[in-house]
Amino acid sequence: MEILVWIGAVVSLLGLAGLVWCILRVARAKRSGLPDEELRAVVQKVVPLNMGALMLSVLGLMMVILGISLG
């Protein structure tokens, strides 16, 4: 089950990279001084991606735990 641990680690890192991208995207929008409505539009576009990245990260960590438990 060692392969499951490594696959889970890669999936979790992809999710973490997605979370970092979401953070940087919103921070860049805040620094650019967009009006309130445009800033809300940027955040609304990022929220589903943020939730997907979080889910991907959690699934990866679950795969790691499962691989350790079975191995």
- The tens digit of pLDDT for each residue in 9-66 reads 999 999 999 999 999 999 999 999 889 999 999 999 999 999 999 999 999 999 999 9
The reported pLDDT for the residue numbered 1 is 86
Domain boundaries of the chain, sorted by first residue: 2-62
Q: Go through 23-54 and write b for each residue having 16 or more CB atoms within 10 A of its CB, e for each that does not.
A: eebbeebeeeeeeeeeeeebeeebeeebeebe
As a dihedral over the C-alpha atoms of residue 24, residue 39, residue 55, residue 13, rounded to 10 degrees, the angle is: -10
Query: Could you tell me the pTM of the whole model?
Result: 0.88
Q: Which residue has the tokens 């997605």?
A: 18
CA distances from 70 to 13, 16, 39 (A): 21, 25, 46
The reported pLDDT for the residue numbered 29 is 94
